[in-house]
Amino acid sequence: MSSVARSTVPFLFLIASGCMSMRYDLSGLPFPVSASPAPGTTQGERFERKSSHVQYGFGLFGEAQPDVRGILAEEGAGCTAIADLRVTSGASLHAWLATHLSLGLVRYKVVTVTGVKLREAR
């Protein structure tokens, strides 16, 4: 293995370890969840909830994942389904400051869960 390849492998490992990916499992919810828009014949109420996603030491020392299933179970109580589900991740000013003041050792992202709670038409 050449010296260039030996020095590139650790660099690529550090870059790959810094990637943030959210994992969530929606099985077990008592109602169906869909990313497609709500059909026109049903009544819906839009919701938006915020949570956080934190990585420690570029993800090498653990992370705190948002509880998307818990948010949907709480928001969807009493509805027949959830449509137009979106889970996005971004940085607010506070998250950006926290990440940069820790020199990137603690990466903080704000996770926004939005959707439409569907109820049967009356």
CA angle 53, 58, 64 (to 5 degrees): 25
Please state whether the predicted TM-score (pTM) of the whole model is above 0.95.
Answer: no
CA-closest candidate to residue 53, choices 23, 81, 11, 16: 23
**May I ask the CATH class of domain 3-119?**
alpha beta
Burial group, residue 118, by CB count within 10 angstroms (0-12, 13-18, 19+): buried
Residue 62 has pLDDT above 80, yes or no: yes
pLDDT band at residue 19 under the 50/70/90 scheme:
low
pLDDT band at residue 50 under the 50/70/90 scheme:
very high
Q: What percent of the chain has pLDDT over 90?
A: 30
State how beta strands 106-119 and 43-56 pair: antiparallel
Q: What share of the chain is helix, strand, coil (3-state, %, to 5)?
A: 25, 35, 40
Domain coordinates of the chain in residue numbers? 3-119
| Average pLDDT of the chain to the nearest whole number | 83
Residue 18 has pLDDT above 60, yes or no: no
